[in-house]
Structure 1
Amino acid sequence: MKHSPLSLALAAALTALAGCATPPSNPTAEVNLVALNDLHGNLEATRFTYAGVGDTAPRTVMAGGIDTLAGALAQWRREDGELLLVGAGDMVGASPALSAMWADEPTIAALDMLGLAVTSAGNHEFDGGRKELLRQQHGGCDSPRPEKACRYEARFGGAKFGYLAANVVDAQSGKTILPAYRILEAKGVKIAFIGTVLKGTTDVVAASGIAGLRFGDEADAVNRLLPELRAQGVGAFVVLIHEGGRTESEYNKQYCDNLEGDLVPVVQRLDPAIRLVISGHSHKGYLCKVGNTVVTQAQMGGHMLSRIRLVVDKATGNIVDVGARNVVIEQGAFPAEPKAAAYLAALRERSNRELARPVARIAVPAVTRGGDNADESALGNLVADAALMAGRPFGAQIGFMNRGGIRQNLETGAGNVVSKGQALATLPFGNTLVVMDLAGAQIRTLLEQQWVADKVKVRGLLQVSEGFTYKYDARKPEGARVSDISVGGVPLDDNAMYRVAANNFLAEGNDAFPEFAKGTNRAETGIPDFDSLTAYLVRREREGKPAGQAPAQPRIQRIQ
Structure 2
Amino acid sequence: MAATPRKNKTGRRFLAAGAGLATVGALFAAMPSAGAAGDEYAVGQGTNGKGWGRMVDVQLLSFNDLHGNLEPPAGTSGQVIRNKADGTTEKIDAGGVEYLATHLRQAREGNRYSITAAAGDLIGASPLLSALFHDEPTVEAMNELDLDVTAVGNHEFDEGARELARMQNGGCHPVDGCYGADQGFEPFGGAEFPYLAANVTDEKTGRPILDPYYVWEKDGVKIGFIGVTLEGTPNVVTAAGVKGLKFGDEVETINKYTKILERKGVKSIVALVHEGGMPASTSVNYNCDGDGDGDGEGVSGAIVDIAKNVSPQVDALVTGHTHQAYVCSIPDPTGKPRLVTSASSFGKVYTDTTLTYDRATKDIVRTAVASANHVVTRDVPKDADMTKLIEAWRPLAAPISNRPQGYIAADINGRGSTAYEKPLGDVIADAQQEGLAPADKGGAQLALMNPGGIRTDLVYKASGAEGDGVVTYGETFNVQPFTNMMNVVDLTGANLITALKQQVSGSNLNSVKILQVSKGLTYTLDMTKTGADRVVDGTIKLNGEAIDPAKTYRVAMNEFLAGGGDGFAALATGTNKLVGASDLDVFNAYLSSHSSAANPLQVPAANRITVITK
Instruction: Assess same fold via TM > 0.5.
Output: yes
More displaced stretch, 491-500 vs 120-129: 491-500
Displacement after TM superposition at 1:234 (Å): 1.0
Look up the match of 1:510: 565
Contact 1:123 1:201 in 2 (8 A): yes
More displaced stretch, 102-111 vs 202-211: 202-211
1:163 aligns with 2:202: no
Question: Helix, strand or coil for the counterpart of 1:451?
Answer: coil
1:396 aligns with 2:444: yes
Contact 1:283 1:298 in 2 (8 A): yes
Displacement after TM superposition at 1:464 (Å): 1.6
Q: 2:170 aligns with which of 121, 124, 139?
A: 139
More displaced stretch, 493-502 vs 347-356: 347-356
Q: Note the alpha carbon deviations across 1:104-127, whole angstroms, 9 max, x for none.
A: 221111001101111011122222
For residues 132 and 430 of structure 1, the distance between their equivalents in structure 2, rounded to whole angstroms, comes to 17
Displacement after TM superposition at 1:59 (Å): 3.4
Q: 1:500 to 1:147 in 2, by over 3 A?
A: farther
Q: 1:466 aligns with which of 501, 519, 528?
A: 519
Displacement after TM superposition at 1:382 (Å): 1.3
TM-score normalised per structure 1:
0.86
Displacement after TM superposition at 1:328 (Å): 2.2
Contact 1:473 1:482 in 2 (8 A): no
1:382 aligns with 2:413: no
Question: Helix, strand or coil for the counterpart of 2:549?
Answer: coil
Question: Helix, strand or coil for the counterpart of 2:232?
Answer: helix
Question: Helix, strand or coil for the counterpart of 1:411?
Answer: coil
Q: 1:315 to 1:534 in 2, by over 3 A?
A: same
Q: Note the alpha carbon deviations across 1:119-177, whole angstroms, 9 max, x for none.
A: 0111222223333322322233456xx57984796843322211112122223322212
Root-mean-square deviation over aligned CA pairs:
3.1
Look up the match of 2:497: 444
Look up the match of 1:296: 341
For residues 295 and 409 of structure 1, the distance between their equivalents in structure 2, rounded to whole angstroms, comes to 30
Displacement after TM superposition at 1:432 (Å): 1.5
For residues 87 and 416 of structure 2, the distance between their equivalents in structure 1, rounded to whole angstroms, comes to 27
Displacement after TM superposition at 1:421 (Å): 1.7
How many residue pairs are counted as aligned between the two chains? Answer: 531
More displaced stretch, 130-139 vs 487-496: 487-496
Q: 1:518 to 1:237 in 2, by over 3 A?
A: same
For residues 374 and 78 of structure 1, the distance between their equivalents in structure 2, rounded to whole angstroms, comes to 42
What's the % identity of the aligned pairs? 37
Contact 2:70 2:97 in 1 (8 A): yes
Higher relative contact order (CA 8 A, sep 6+): 2
Matched residue type, 1:427: Q
Q: 2:316 aligns with which of 238, 256, 276?
A: 276
1:361 aligns with 2:407: yes
Matched residue type, 1:264: V
Look up the match of 1:3: none
Q: Note the alpha carbon deviations across 1:287-331, whole angstroms, 9 max, x for none.
A: 221233112222222222222222222233111242222222222
Look up the match of 1:122: 153
1:28 aligns with 2:55: yes
For residues 554 and 31 of structure 1, the distance between their equivalents in structure 2, rounded to whole angstroms, comes to 52
For residues 457 and 382 of structure 1, the distance between their equivalents in structure 2, rounded to whole angstroms, comes to 27
Question: Helix, strand or coil for the counterpart of 1:116?
Answer: coil
Q: Aligned runs of 1:430-441 on 2, under 5 Å? A: 430-441=483-494
For residues 491 and 364 of structure 2, the distance between their equivalents in structure 1, rounded to whole angstroms, comes to 56
Question: Helix, strand or coil for the counterpart of 2:166?
Answer: helix
Q: Which has the higher helix share?
A: 1
In structure 1, the gaps of 5 or more residues are 1-24
Question: Helix, strand or coil for the counterpart of 1:522?
Answer: strand
Q: 1:235 to 1:147 in 2, by over 3 A?
A: same
Look up the match of 1:9: none
For residues 279 and 53 of structure 1, the distance between their equivalents in structure 2, rounded to whole angstroms, comes to 26
Q: Which has the larger radius of gyration?
A: 1
1:332 aligns with 2:372: no
Look up the match of 2:70: 43
Look up the match of 1:177: 209
Q: 1:477 to 1:290 in 2, by over 3 A?
A: closer
Contact 1:285 1:299 in 2 (8 A): yes
Contact 2:120 2:320 in 1 (8 A): yes
For residues 95 and 540 of structure 2, the distance between their equivalents in structure 1, rounded to whole angstroms, comes to 46
Q: 1:558 to 1:29 in 2, by over 3 A?
A: closer
1:312 aligns with 2:354: no
Q: Note the alpha carbon deviations across 1:449-487, whole angstroms, 9 max, x for none.
A: 222148266344212222333445564883673325444
For residues 166 and 372 of structure 1, the distance between their equivalents in structure 2, rounded to whole angstroms, comes to 35
1:492 aligns with 2:575: no
TM-score normalised per structure 2:
0.79
Matched residue type, 1:447: L
Matched residue type, 1:436: V
Q: 2:239 aligns with which of 207, 212, 222?
A: 207
Question: Helix, strand or coil for the counterpart of 1:209?
Answer: helix
Look up the match of 2:27: none
Look up the match of 1:12: none
Question: Helix, strand or coil for the counterpart of 2:345?
Answer: coil
Displacement after TM superposition at 1:346 (Å): 3.0
Q: Note the alpha carbon deviations across 1:181-220, whole angstroms, 9 max, x for none.
A: 0111023221110011122223222233213322222111
Look up the match of 2:31: none
More displaced stretch, 146-155 vs 338-347: 146-155
In structure 2, the gaps of 5 or more residues are 1-51, 332-336
Look up the match of 1:99: 130
For residues 477 and 324 of structure 1, the distance between their equivalents in structure 2, rounded to whole angstroms, comes to 36
For residues 373 and 81 of structure 1, the distance between their equivalents in structure 2, rounded to whole angstroms, comes to 42
Displacement after TM superposition at 1:69 (Å): 2.3
1:419 aligns with 2:472: yes
Displacement after TM superposition at 1:371 (Å): 10
Contact 2:493 2:551 in 1 (8 A): yes
Q: 1:463 to 1:75 in 2, by over 3 A?
A: closer
Matched residue type, 2:488: V
More displaced stretch, 336-345 vs 498-507: 336-345
1:341 aligns with 2:390: no
Q: Note the alpha carbon deviations across 1:236-263, whole angstroms, 9 max, x for none.
A: 1111111222334764578823342221
Q: 1:523 to 1:157 in 2, by over 3 A?
A: farther
Displacement after TM superposition at 1:544 (Å): 9.2
Look up the match of 1:260: 299
Question: Helix, strand or coil for the counterpart of 1:224?
Answer: helix
Displacement after TM superposition at 1:383 (Å): 0.7
More displaced stretch, 460-469 vs 398-407: 460-469
Q: Note the alpha carbon deviations across 1:380-409, whole angstroms, 9 max, x for none.
A: 121111112332312222211111111112
Q: 1:420 to 1:229 in 2, by over 3 A?
A: same
For residues 245 and 100 of structure 1, the distance between their equivalents in structure 2, rounded to whole angstroms, comes to 27
Q: 1:27 to 1:329 in 2, by over 3 A?
A: same
